[in-house]
C-alpha cells in the first residue's frame, strides 16, 4: 500500500477522484432536492435527472472512448474537469437570471464529459502504474467510490439544506477545478509511438469492436458484465418491497439495508487492497459473482431482518470484487492504445442492461412474486459466473496469445 501511494500518478488520480466525488454528490443531491421542492415531487421531473445522468453512457461512451484513445490522457482529464466547472457556473448564472430547468444541463454536460475523462484515467493507470500495483490502485479507487456511496448523500443533503442551491453549485465548480489543478501538476503526457498516425474515426471504432470480439478474455468479461447489470437492475428498484412485503417493516427501514451494504462495500474495498498481491483479479471476479448470487438468493427467501442484513453485508463486501476484478483485467489484457474503446464497449453493456431491467422491474413484480424475481437475479449472476470460470485458473500476468491481439 505504501509503495503504491509513492507513485505520483496514483496519488493524483485518487485525490482528483476525491474532489470529483465531492462535486458530483453535492451537485446531484442539490438538483434532486431542488427539483423535489420546486415540482412537488413530480415523478417525471425526478426521472429526468436519471436520464441526464445515464443517457450519455449510451450515446457517447464508445465515441468518447475512441477519442480518448486518440488524445493525451492527462490533458483530456484536465480539460474535462475545467469544462465541467464552467458548465456548472454557466448553469448557475442561468439559474439566477433565467429558468430553473437549466439545472438539468449541468448533470448532462458533466455526464458527457465523464465519458471522455474516465477512460483517460484508466489509460493513465495503464501507462504509469506498475502491473504489480495496478490491482491495489484500482481497489483504492473503488473504495473511494464506496465511501461516497455512504457519505455522499449525507454531504449533499447537508450542503443543500444549510446553504441552498447557489452555494451547492459553487462548491461543485470549485471541486471540479480542484480536480483539474491536481491533474495539471502531473508531468506532461508522453507522446506514444505512432500517436501521430491519422486514421478514420469509423475505422478506429470498427477496430475497437474487432479487438474485443477477437479477445477471448474481453469477450467473456463483456458477457459477465452484462449478466451482472441485468441482475442488479432487476432488484435495485424493488428493494423497498423487500422491506415492506418480505420483512413486514416500515419503508423507512430501507435505510438500514442500504447502510449495511455501503459499509460492506467500504470494508470489501479495503480487504481487496490488502489481498491485491496474493489474489489474481479473475479469482476476485469469480468470488464476487458467486457471493452476490448467494446474497440475492438469501434476500429472496429471507423473512428475518438479521438474515437479510447479513445477505446485504455479504453483497456489499463482494461487490467491489466484481468491479475491481473486471477493471483490473481490462487494464491487464488491453493495449494502452485500445483502453478507451474497450471501456466504451464494456461499460454500456453493464449500464445498458441494468437500466433496461430497471425499466421492466416493476412489470416483473406485478406478474411474478418478489421471491421469484430475486431468485432469477441470482441465476443471472450464476450465468455470468459460468462464462468467466474458464479464466479462473489463468496465471497472473500471463501474456495474451497472439491470436487475441489485433492492431488498428
Cα 198–Cα 200–Cα 204 angle in degrees, nearest 5: 95
Residue 332: the pLDDT is: 82
Q: How many residues does the chain have?
A: 408
Residue 408: the pLDDT is: 32
Rounded to two decimals, the pTM is: 0.73
Closest CA to 22 of 159, 188, 122, 121: 159
Cα 349–Cα 271–Cα 319 angle in degrees, nearest 5: 25
CA atoms of 65 and 67, how far apart (whole Å): 5
CA atoms of 105 and 84, how far apart (whole Å): 11
Residue 406: the pLDDT is: 35
CA atoms of 261 and 266, how far apart (whole Å): 9
CA atoms of 241 and 141, how far apart (whole Å): 32
List C-alpha distances in Å: 372 to 314, 316, 362, 366, 377: 20, 22, 13, 12, 9
CA atoms of 165 and 118, how far apart (whole Å): 27
List CB contacts of 186: < 8 A, sequence separation 6 or more. Answer: 8, 9, 12, 74
* Angle of the 131-184 helix axis to the 8-39 helix axis, nearest 10: 60
Residue 124: the pLDDT is: 82
266-284 residues labelled b (16+ CB within 10 A) or e (exposed): bbbbbbbbeebeebbbbbb
CB 330 within 8 A of CB 346: yes
CB 68 within 8 A of CB 120: yes
Residue 38: the pLDDT is: 77
* Max CA pair span of the chain: 63
User: Tens-of-pLDDT digits for all 408 residues of the chain?
Assistant: 566 777 888 888 889 989 999 998 898 888 878 877 777 766 667 667 767 777 777 677 777 777 777 788 888 899 999 998 998 888 778 777 666 677 777 778 878 888 888 888 878 877 887 877 777 777 788 778 778 877 888 888 889 889 988 899 899 999 999 999 999 998 887 665 444 455 576 777 788 888 888 888 888 888 988 899 899 888 877 887 888 888 888 876 777 887 888 888 888 888 877 776 778 888 888 999 999 999 999 999 999 999 999 999 999 898 888 888 888 888 888 887 788 788 778 877 887 788 788 778 778 888 888 899 999 999 999 999 998 888 776 554 444 443 333 333
List C-alpha distances in Å: 291 to 62, 302, 313, 322, 388: 30, 16, 11, 10, 14
CA atoms of 385 and 294, how far apart (whole Å): 12
Question: Residue 382 burial (CB < 10 Å; 0-12/13-18/19+)?
Answer: middle
Helix/strand/coil for 357: helix
CB 211 within 8 A of CB 341: yes
Amino acid at each position: 500500500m505504501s509503495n503504491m501511494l509513492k507513485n505520483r500518478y496514483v496519488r493524483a488520480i485518487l485525490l482528483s477522484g476525491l474532489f470529483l466525488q465531492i462535486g458530483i454528490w453535492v451537485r446531484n443531491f442539490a438538483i434532486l432536492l431542488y427539483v423535489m421542492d420546486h415540482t412537488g415531487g413530480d415523478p417525471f421531473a425526478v426521472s429526468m435527472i436519471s436520464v441526464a445522468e445515464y443517457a450519455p453512457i449510451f450515446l457517447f461512451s464508445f465515441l468518447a472512448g475512441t477519442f480518448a484513445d486518440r488524445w493525451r490522457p492527462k490533458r483530456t482529464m484536465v480539460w474535462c474537469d475545467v469544462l465541467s466547472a464552467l458548465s456548472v457556473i454557466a448553469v448557475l448564472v442561468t439559474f439566477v437570471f433565467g429558468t430553473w430547468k437549466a439545472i438539468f444541463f449541468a448533470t448532462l454536460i458533466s455526464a458527457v464529459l465523464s465519458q471522455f475523462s474516465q477512460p483517460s484515467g484508466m489509460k493513465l493507470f495503464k501507462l504509469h502504474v506498475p502491473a504489480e500495483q495496478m490491482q491495489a490502485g484500482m481497489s483504492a479507487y473503488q473504495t473511494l467510490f464506496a465511501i461516497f456511496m455512504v457519505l455522499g448523500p449525507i454531504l449533499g443533503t447537508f450542503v443543500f439544506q444549510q446553504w441552498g442551491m447557489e452555494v451547492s453549485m459553487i462548491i461543485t465548480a470549485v471541486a471540479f477545478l480542484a480536480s483539474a489543478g491536481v491533474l495539471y501538476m502531473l508531468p506532461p503526457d508522453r507522446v506514444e509511438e505512432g500517436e501521430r498516425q491519422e486514421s478514420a474515426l469509423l475505422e478506429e471504432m470498427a477496430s475497437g469492436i474487432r479487438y474485443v470480439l477477437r479477445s477471448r478474455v474481453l469477450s467473456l468479461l463483456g458477457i459477465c458484465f452484462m449478466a451482472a447489470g441485468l441482475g442488479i437492475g432487476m432488484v435495485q428498484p424493488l428493494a423497498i418491497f423487500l422491506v415492506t412485503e418480505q420483512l413486514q417493516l416500515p419503508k423507512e427501514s430501507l435505510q438500514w439495508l442500504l447502510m449495511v451494504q455501503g459499509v460492506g462495500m467500504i470494508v470489501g474495498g479495503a480487504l481487496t487492497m490488502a489481498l491485491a498481491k496474493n489474489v489474481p483479479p479473475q479469482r476476485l471476479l469469480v468470488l464476487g459473482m458467486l457471493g452476490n448470487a448467494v446474497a440475492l438468493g438469501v434476500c429472496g427467501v429471507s423473512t428475518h431482518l438479521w438474515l437479510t442484513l447479513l445477505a446485504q453485508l455479504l453483497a456489499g463486501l463482494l461487490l467491489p470484487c466484481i468491479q475491481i476484478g473486471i477493471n483490473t483485467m481490462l487494464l491487464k489484457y488491453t493495449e494502452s492504445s485500445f483502453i478507451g474503446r474497450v471501456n466504451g464497449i464494456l461499460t454500456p453493456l453493464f449500464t445498458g442492461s441494468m437500466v433496461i431491467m430497471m425499466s421492466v422491474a416493476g412489470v416483473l413484480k406485478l406478474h411474478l412474486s418478489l421471491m421469484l424475481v430475486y431468485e432469477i437475479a441470482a441465476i443471472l449472476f450464476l450465468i455470468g459466473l459460468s462464462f468467466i470460470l474458464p479464466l479462473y485458473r489463468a496465471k497472473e500476468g500471463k501474456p495474451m496469445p497472439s491470436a487475441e491481439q489485433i492492431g488498428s
